[in-house]
Every structure is written in C-alpha cells, then in structure tokens.
Structure 1
C-alpha cells in the first residue's frame, strides 16, 4: 500500500519551524524583531471542495470572510468592519490617533468609530489600501480601474490569457497607505475547466497573517470560479520575506506540538449577480474541527 500523502498543513508547519529555528534574526519596521526566510512556495488542492483553513489553531474564519467582502467593496474605512465585530485593522488607525491625541483604548476608539461618522471619516480611514486599488486603481477617470471586474471579464472572454492578474502594489500611493499590501499580487490560470490561482506575498507574518491570507486567497478562487462557470483547481502561494515575530515564541511552540486535522469543506450557498455582492451568510463551512485558538500580539 502506498504511503499516505502528507497533510497539506504540514508544509506550513514546516515553514514555521524552519523560520523559527534557522531563520535570520532581523530588525523590522515595528521594532519587535523577526526570524525570517526568503522565498518559499506552498501548494493547496482545492478540487475536492476543501479550503486551507488551519486546524492546528482555531481561525476566526467568519472575520476573514467579512474582511474579504470589505476588500471587494473597495472601502478603506474600518467602520464597516468594526460594526461587524471585526478588529483586524483597528490597531493601525488607533496608533495614529493615540500618537496625536490623549490615548484611547481599542474598545473606546472603536465605539467612537461606530457612533460618530465624522470621527470615523477622520480617524478610521486607512488610505488607498487593498480594496481601493482592487476596485479604483487611479487612472485619471472618476472611478479608476476596476481590476476585479476586468479580471472576471478577461477570464470569461479569453481563459487562456496569461494576463489574469490584479495587484495592490501602486508605487505612487504606497506612502498614503496605513500598511502597503503584503498579499500584493494575484494571478489566475484556467485549464480543463478548473481555475487555479497564485498569490505572491512580499511579506508574510506566519503566526497571524498567513492563516487569513491563504484562506481568503482560496475563497477568491472559489468565488471567481463560480462566476466564470469553472471548478476550483489549485492554490499556489509564494512568499518572499516569510517571518515569525520574536514575541510569538509561545505560539510557535504550541502550534508545532499539535497534529493537523482534516481541512473543512466550503460551499457557496448562493450565486449573487456579481462577485461584489456576496454576503457573509453565503459561505457555509463544514467539518472544521480545529485545536484551540492561540492568542498572540500584533506588531503595528
């Protein structure tokens, strides 16, 4: 009998272990410090309906779904996220606010974001981050270039094209962004009725960022495939600076002690008119049985 294939999560755990044990220790923008490796690749098969949602710690996948829908909306203000109980992006505008004013706690800051539209407009905006570039890349026209609409149209019209790409790396606007895009460039490939995708990340926080990044990239493939009458294929992830923060030792040690469990299956319960019209309830996950969550600090 042939040996069973390794669990797909094992390649992530291997990268985390190698980064922690053999990575180069480096200073970084946040002042926390990292151990890093450069240039890594992982592959995940999506053809059986599974999605790469890590099982060695619980991932709050509904927050990831809401974040992706927010990206696709083109919004750049944290107010819609905060209103849904999603705190992923709060720390960056909070740090900016606290540097210029009497400090607020995160809860107090988010309460003001929700209650006061003017306050949210001034302090909750992140600049032209991901969604803005995806939907409104500036070209001198009022609305800019909608890269997502162009991508869908391109896949439908010319599946064999090598130009099915969108990116958030707008050099001219990097200094206006709260955080330049880490998961920066996506490309898609159609073959045998299946849609595969690759994600290139310039920077990857293996402890906290990667679990969301890889899950959302898989969701995008499923959503795009649905709207192009294709089946999902493979997700190829390519990371440049792959790092573990020095204050994540407890996370690394605990997570590496755990054995992966089966990836869950994802069903899209509705096909909206546009890829821009999904709602959180359109995503149904079955079979997700993760190990407990591991809390760790975010470096801003």
Structure 2
C-alpha cells in the first residue's frame, strides 16, 4: 500500500473513531474534527486514489478553469464536467420561485437540471445570467482586488525561489457574501510554495473538507498544480502537504466510507505532462496523461449543498 493512499484511508478511519457529530450549514450533519495534516511525496507516484475511481477529467478541467480566471460554469458544462452544476441550478430555481416544484434530488429535479445544463451549453445569454458563480476561485487567483496572483507567483518562484511569501489566497473577506449567492466561499483557502534542492513543494490550508467526496479531488488538483508549476519553472516535484481546519464526513456518506475502507489500495499511477508547455496558461486538457491507473469502481454519493 502506498503511503499516499494509506494517509487518506487513515483519515477516514480516524474520523469514524474520533470524530464528533456536528451540525452544519447544509442540514445534513457531519462527523467532524478540527485540525489535521497529510503529506504526499510526489516521487512515490501521482496521488490519485485507487480504492474508488476518481474522474480525472473533471479535476483537470476544473483546475484549468480556475487558472483561466473564469467563474462561469459554461466552460465546464461545454466539457461535460458536472461538479459545479448544482449550486447555480439551485440559485436558478430559487430566483424563479421553483424550489417547491422541484424538491432537491427528486426525479423531477434531476430532469430539470438536465434541461438547465443543456440551456447553459446552448444559450450564451442564459449562461451569462444563470451560470455565473460570483467572485470564487478563478477570480481570486487571477484578479484579487486587481492583482493577478498566479502570474505573480510564477515570476516570483523564478526570481526569488527562497522567498517565504510564495502564497496565493482565495479568501477575500470583502467578497465572501457575494461568493455565497450562487457559488461557495473557498474551501481551499490558501496555498504556499517552497523550493528546496530544486524541488517544488506546496502546502494547502483547507478551512472545510468533505473527506469522502471533496478531498480526493483536492489532493489530485493541487498535485497537478505542483507538477505544472514545477515544469514551467524548471523544477522537480517535492511534496504536497494538505492541512485542514474542519475536516468531516457527512452523515449520508457513512455507508460509502465503509465500502471504500473494505478495499485494498492498488499501485499509484504516474502523471505525464506535455513537456513542450512552458507557460502555465498554455496547458490544455490534452497535455495531461495518467499512466497505469487501475482503480476500483466509483462509489456514488450526493453532494451536500
């Protein structure tokens, strides 16, 4: 068993054993603990979980979407990525007085959401009005009060690699309420880079972590980001350190967690990037290749929103 996957499974086990029941914004309820950390040595392999299939396409497209600075789901919808659809859909229902007519996760709700995403894809005006999530990750990464943090970060890594200020923040306190309207205030709030012996490492602080659904995506996403930045800055990859605030399992994910814990991890895959890419903003989905990924079947669970 790789140390990377073991750490994640140990986190699930710890929450089941030590976590405390805690109410939350969604009303679903969680088993929660405050404060935790995992470390992933990226030389061991790419930390993509094997005990359930992780949909790499969604992670890559979401990351490219963040880096582009976009905050509208149209790019994701156009690429058949569904992970951000529910929040703007719920906002659409609310603004049109349709919440009671389409109860969340009912068959009618699912059918209506398919029609909603179809219209996002086909109608630019509709997408502009109802696909916007507000000043979430992409906006903060590329335009934090007028400042492009990603461009600054890349340049600073190249010219000042010993800096202790290689930080990107998505938590813009003045815009949190606006983010909450259709999107979600950033869960992964701040990340810092560190260079030692030609290797690039990154530590992420995540204020709120849905361990079953969200954390596997976060681990992979920031590991992709480390590889991408290392390549364009002529560095090797080091570690991904994942630090948490409120780390939790939702009460409606317990059965799925136990199923995942019953599975024996397999060998980690490898990541191959297009070596021709030398600018962080030039990466496209086709520039990523995962080699040797052999996961168990996916485990479905509802997102708490």
TM-score scaled by structure 2? Answer: 0.93
- State whether structure 2 residue 56 is matched by structure 1 residue 54: no
Equivalent in the alignment of 2:171: 169
SS of alignment partner, residue 8 of structure 1:
helix
**Counterpart in 2 of 1:141?**
none
Contact 2:21 2:31 in 1 (8 A): yes
Deviations 1:182-216 (A, max 9, x none): 01111011111110111110000001000110101
Work out the CA distance in 2 between the residues paired with 1:196 and 1:39.
21
Alpha-carbon contact 2:2-2:267 (below 8 Å) kept: no
Contact kept? 1:32, 1:299, Cα under 8 Å: yes
Partners of 1:38 and 1:241 within 8 A in 2? yes
**Whole-Å Cα distance in 2 between the matches of residues 145 and 41 of structure 1?**
30
Which residue pairs with 2:6 in the alignment?
A: 10
Matching residue of 1:244? 249
Report the equivalent of 1:269: 274
| Separation in 2, partners of 1:32, 1:151 | 38
Counterpart residue number, 2:20: 24
Residue in 1 aligned with 2:39? 43
Structure 1 residues 122-137: aligned runs within 5 Å: 122-137=129-144
Structure 2 gaps, min length 5: 103-108
Q: How does 1:1-300 map to 2 (within 5 A)?
A: 7-48=3-44, 50-101=45-96, 102=98, 103=102, 105-138=112-145, 144-177=146-179, 178-300=183-305
Shift of 1:20: 2.3
- By how many angstroms is 1:273 displaced? 4.3
Which runs of at least 4 in structure 1 moved beyond 3 Å after TM superposition?
Answer: none
CA contact 1:20–1:36 (8 Å) conserved in 2: no
What CA deviation, in whole Å up to 9, does each residue of 1:68-120 have, x standing for no partner? 00000000000110010000100000011111223562211101111111111
Counterpart-to-counterpart distance in 2, 1:270 and 1:6: 27
SS of corresponding position for 1:19: helix
Cα separation, 1, equivalents of 2:31 and 2:302:
16
Query: What is the distance in 1 between the residues matched to 2:35 and 2:253?
Result: 21
**TM-score, normalised via structure 1 length:** 0.94
Q: Could you say what secondary structure the match of 1:233 adopts? A: strand
SS across alignment from 2:3 = coil
Q: Deviation at 1:270?
A: 3.5
- Give distance in 2, aligned partners of 1:273 and 1:267: 14
**Post-superposition offset of 1:277:** 1.4
SS at match of 2:260: helix
